[in-house]
Structure 1
Amino acid sequence: MMDREMRIEDKVPIGKKDIFDKIMGLPVLNIFEPFYKKNKEMLLYLFFGGLSFIVSVATYAFFNVSLGFNVLLANVLSWVITVMFAFLTNRVWVFDSPTNNIKEFIIQMFSFYSGRIVTLIIEEAILVLFIDILGFGSIVVKVVAQVVVILLNYVISKIFIFRKN
């Protein structure tokens, strides 16, 4: 598999540049290319984690504030949408973790969702404690909880789900 062979100096598969590699190769941005190549996974996780953060907070605000749904129900609905988005972006761009067949894909997706269920439970506990019990503002608590969840999700994804064999 020649196009999956790794070059030692830059860790980008030979013959396989994604959209982000191409952007970083542009004349103005190419001065950052060495830093990007060295930290690509982390930078892409921060980028897509930031987008997931926006999706999560926006959908939560929509369900909780706009529609008046209960804090926990709004969070679960937001979680479903955000996890679908995160799985696709993490699998394709962040961890570059293709599968060889449908069985591997289902196992990977099941592992991803299982890890996210763990952090959903943690997030729900944070929301109950700080919103329902202590009376803090819903959106502020959701934002803080998302920071905790994004960090935990990275660790879970890196160690258990998209690990390189």
Structure 2
Amino acid sequence: MFDKIIKACVGILPEKLQKLYYKYEEQLMYAFFGALTTLISIITKLLAFYAIPGERPWESTFAVAFSWVCAVTFAFFTNKKYVFKNETQSKNEFWKVFVSFYGARGITFFAEEAIFLVFYDWLGFSKVIVTFASQVIIFIANYILSKLFVFKKERKETIKK
């Protein structure tokens, strides 16, 4: 359904913009769903921060972990279907991609934890500023890891005889 909506919207664009869209479709779709994932992450993180009354030493760890689970679950399915168009043929293939995706996101999870530990907990920066700044860093790192390791296209070598 979403595919049809996108194709209809792209179809009404001038031809030059259509060509640009199709040339950069993967990056544009990643940016679109990445923005939605970032929004989910920010909202759930801030909800977690403000749902916990008072200042707690574990507050940032809980907020980042909660938002991570929500955002990564959304990102996995949208990246798999709409961004990288990964069509797994078996349960084993699905689980391999699933574990790879969550593993890659686990790396950026710990990077985000470190960012919060340093800039919020130790240096006292605003949790809102650290939230937004960390999202930019994590957004870029997630694309690189997904593109190069999780949803990499298998290169089919042709044998010349």
TM-score relative to the length of structure 1:
0.85
The residue type paired with residue 35 of structure 1 is: L
User: Superposed, which structure 2 residues align to 1:22-37 within 5 Å?
Assistant: 22-26=8-12, 29-31=13-15, 32-37=17-22
**Aligned: 1:124 with 2:118:** no
Partners in 2 of 1:49 and 1:135 — Cα distance? 28
**Does the alignment pair 1:39 with 2:24?**
yes
Among 103, 109, 119, the residue aligned to 2:98: 109
- Alpha-carbon distance, 1:139 to partner: 1.4
Cα distance, 1:65 vs structure 2: 2.0
**Cα distance in 2, alignment partners of residues 113 and 72 from structure 1:** 18
Coordinate RMSD, CA, aligned: 1.4
Q: Which residue of 2 aligns with 1:153?
A: 142
Specify the SS of the correspondent of 2:8: helix
Structure 2 gaps, min length 5: 155-161
Identity of aligned residues (%): 36
- C-alpha displacement of 1:151: 0.2
User: Does residue 87 of the first structure (1) align with residue 76 of the second (2)?
Assistant: yes
Structure 1 residue identity aligned to 2:29: L
Gaps of 5+ in 1: 1-16
Per-residue CA distance 1:59-117 (angstroms, 9 max, x = gap): 00000123347111111011000000000100000000110011100100000000000
CA distance in 2, matches of 1:144, 1:103: 37
CA distance in 2, matches of 1:33, 1:135: 46
In structure 2, the residue corresponding to 1:139 is in which secondary structure? helix
- The Cα of 1:21 is off from its aligned counterpart by 2.5
The C-alpha deviation readout for 1:41-65, integer Å capped at 9, x for no partner, is 0000010111111000000000012
Runs of at least 4 residues off by over 3 Å: 66-69
The separation in 1 between residues aligned to 2:36 and 2:14, in whole angstroms, is 24
Task: Note the alpha carbon deviations across 1:98-146, whole angstroms, 9 max, x for none.
Answer: 1001110010000000000000000000000000100001111011001
Q: CA deviation at 1:22?
A: 2.9
Q: Which has the higher contact order (CA 8 A, sep 6+)?
A: 2
